[in-house]
Amino acid sequence: MSRFSRRRRAARAGRRIGATPGSLGPVGGAGPSTIRVMRYDATTLEESDRLEGNGRGRRVTWVDVIGIGSADVVRAIGERYGLHPLALEDVMHPHQRPKIEEYPDCLYVVARVPQEREGALDIEQLSMFIGADFVITFQEREGDAWDPVRERLRQAKGRIRGEGASYLAYALLDACVDAMFPLVEAYDQRLEAFEETVFASPAHELAPAIHSIDRDLTAIRRAVLPLREAVSRLIREELPLIERGVVLYLRDCQDHLSQIVDIVEAQRELVRALREAHSAALELRSGEAMKVLTIIATIFIPLSFIAGVYGMNFDREASPLSMPELGWAYGYPSVLGLMAALALGMLVYFRHRRWL
């Protein structure tokens, strides 16, 4: 079982059957929560690790929560910004399907972000609340693709510091999507290597490796397709919290997601072709081995017959018909020569029929 599957089972095991809707409980395997806060407008930027602070005069507040193991922290953020308890419950129970939910004062966005951790595929749930002047993000673990966004905020690059909360939400989603391209391109390289190996030396050990890639690509597809649908909803519906100017940028994000879907679909087709080619190559090798063994057995059948006949040891004195050649001086080498000539003749015949 993969690490991702174990973590998913642990999270599902943490669900409390029959609990009150909106109640927050511990998440199995989740780390403690830490907070990063960035408050900014076009001219100023303030960073801290506390929720306290006066946001007056600043257009946007970004609260980034790393780790969802502290229910008290999640509850305090929800109370401060008026987040719905049902949405907070989804935050505390990861492995939700990517979606968009509209609440009176905010939008709740769930995304599943595939990434590589310690040489293995890991799919992390990202929960995002978009308000009129705030964006709140919840990550399961440390390590994200948002460092470029943070640097743009710190250095006032581009238009991000002069835009509202919905543009920040777009920038965060776009950074996650852009980080998917190196991941899926790495699978291209692995598949190319497998393609060469399948036809050069189709070992049985390749089958689990091909299956592992197929499983990873299926997981990526399950994460990206619903996310594309969610972004399409942000574009299609006139949501009050999404500025119209941001819709143009969301279309570009949707286009990138479509490209990733196309790449993954092409890779899955290649995986299916490799699996079939691998099976065919193994069957061909088995067939070649069986053909060689069959030819060897066929050659030895008449040789075994001759050896069996001359191994019966009839008494020559009892009858002149009882293998008189047993007393011949050249009997033994003649029989060996007959057997060699017979074997050679069969090999020539097999070669003539193109069985060899």
Q: How far from each other are the two terminal CA atoms of the chain, in whole angstroms? A: 45
Which of 89, 112, 84, 111 has the alpha carbon at shortest distance from 100?
A: 111
Confidence at residue 315, expressed as pLDDT on a 0 to 100 scale? 72
Q: What was the pLDDT predicted at 18?
A: 47
* Side-chain half-sphere exposure of 38, counting CA atoms within 13 A: 24
Pure H helices in the chain: 3-13, 71-81, 85-92, 147-155, 165-200, 206-236, 244-309, 331-352
Could you list the mean pLDDT of each consecutive 10-residue stretch along the chain, which spans 356 residues?
A: 51 50 57 88 88 63 90 89 90 87 92 87 92 92 88 90 93 94 90 79 75 91 92 89 91 94 93 82 76 83 82 72 73 83 84 75
What pLDDT is stored for residue 28 in this prediction? 54
* End-of-domain residue from the set 259, 282, 305: 282
Nearest alpha-carbon partner for 177 in 237, 269, 249, 280: 249
Count of Cβ atoms closer than 10 Å to residue 182 Cβ: 10
d(CA 309, CA 65): 89
Q: Tell me, yes or no, whether 335 and 214 share the same domain.
A: no
User: Residue 123 in contact with residue 59, Cβ under 8 Å?
Assistant: no
**Distance (Å, rounded) from C-alpha 113 to C-alpha 181?**
12
Contact 74, 88 (CB under 8 A): yes
Same domain, 181 and 328: no
Rounded distance between C-alpha atoms, residue 191 and residue 99, angstroms = 31
- Let me know whether 261 and 333 are in one domain: no
* Residue type (1 letter), 81: Y
Residues 109 and 24 grouped into a single domain: yes
User: pTM of the prediction?
Assistant: 0.75
Q: Which domain, by its residues, includes 31?
A: 3-282
Tell me how far apart the alpha carbons of residues 195 and 55 are, in angstroms, rounded to a whole number: 56
Asked if 111 and 138 count as a contact pair (C-beta separation under 8 A), the reply is no
Task: Tell whether 240 and 137 lie within a shared domain.
Answer: yes
Indicate whether 223 and 128 sit together in one domain. Answer: yes
Of 235, 267, 282, the residue that ends a domain is 282
What is the predicted pLDDT for the residue at 25? 57
- Pairing of the two strands 34-40 and 134-139: unpaired
Query: Hey, what long-range contacts does 338-346 have (CB within 8 A, 24 or more apart)?
Result: 338/306, 339/303, 339/306, 339/307, 342/302, 342/303, 342/306, 343/299, 343/303, 346/298, 346/299, 346/302
Q: Which long-range contacts (CB under 8 A, 24 or more apart) does 334-339 make?
A: 335/306, 335/310, 338/306, 339/303, 339/306, 339/307
- Angle between helix axes 331-352 and 244-309 (nearest 10 degrees) is 150
| Distance between CA atoms of residues 187 and 204, nearest Å | 21
CATH number of 240's domain: 3.30.460.20
Question: Which of 224, 248, 282 is the endpoint of a domain?
Answer: 282
Residues 167 and 140 in one domain: yes
Residues 336 and 205 in one domain: no
134, 107 in Cβ contact below 8 A? no
Q: Which of 244, 44, 286, 247 is nearest to 154 (CA)?
A: 44
Residue 299, pLDDT score: 84
Would you say the C-alpha torsion 4, 140, 59, 79 has a positive or negative sign? positive
Asked if 125 and 28 sit in the same domain, the reply is yes
How many domains does the chain divide into?
A: 2
Residue 131 to residue 240: CA distance in whole angstroms: 10
Are both 32 and 100 inside the same structural domain?
yes
State whether 192 and 298 are in the same domain. no
The CATH number of the domain holding residue 338 is 1.20.58
215, 293: one domain: no
